[in-house]
Structure formats: structure tokens, C-alpha cells
Structure 1
Amino acid sequence: MIDNKIHKENYLRALITDTSPFDLPIIINNEGLYKNLIKGEDNPYLPIINKLMYPPHDPT
């Protein structure tokens, strides 16, 4: 049986529910971004995802 409960401690679910598909680059979709973020440290795409999620701060 599939667990269809909403786990409120899973803050990454906002990527699926609160992010418009138009807010993401064309090669990324909400569900794929969410699945890659929940993989954690063993994700080979983590450096790329971190650049997208946390761009370098430009103080100017």
C-alpha cells in the first residue's frame, strides 16, 4: 500500500506544491528536483543542485 500521508516535517515538499513550473529552468521539473534533493549526500548531482538553490552572494 502506498503511503499518501503528508509529512509536515518534509519542508522540501514545497518544491512540488508551491513552486510554479515556470519558475524553474526548462531542463528541471519540480518532481525531479524534489527527488534529487531528498537523495541527500549520495546524489551525484548535488553540486549542480546546490548552485541552483544557493547561488553565490554578490554584495554589490
Structure 2
Amino acid sequence: MYEYKVFKCNLGNLTLTEELEDTLNDYAKKGWRISNIISNIKGSGNALFSSVDGNHATIILERMKED
């Protein structure tokens, strides 16, 4: 069985690459891996994944659930 974690990432941030890399490495140390990345496309109409400015991506992580 898997468990999931979802968070948004601001693509408009100039220091995004290093911060995102650090964040993903921190999650990886805890057993998380990327399951999917959903970039926001303006006009997609999807309320769950949309952002006002269109500069966000939703990152979905997964790992084996600890019993």
C-alpha cells in the first residue's frame, strides 16, 4: 500500500531550482519519490490544481506506507 503527499511549487520564484532540489532531497531521505508533476495551464478549469497567476506546479509524492 502507498501513501501520497501533494504540494504546490511556485515556478515564478528565481531561486526555485535550488530550493526545489533541496525539498525533494529532504523528502527522498524520508522515502518519498515523485509520482507525478502537474503544471498549471491557464484556462484548464481544474479548481484543484489551478492557480491565479499560472506559475505553479502541483507535485505528487508517494512512498510505501509504514505499518
TM range (shorter): under 0.3
Name whichever structure is richer in helix by fraction. Answer: 1
Q: Determine which structure has greater relative contact order: mean sequence separation of CA pairs < 8 Å that are 6+ residues apart, divided by chain length.
A: 2
TM-score by length of 1: 0.26
TM-score by length of 2: 0.24
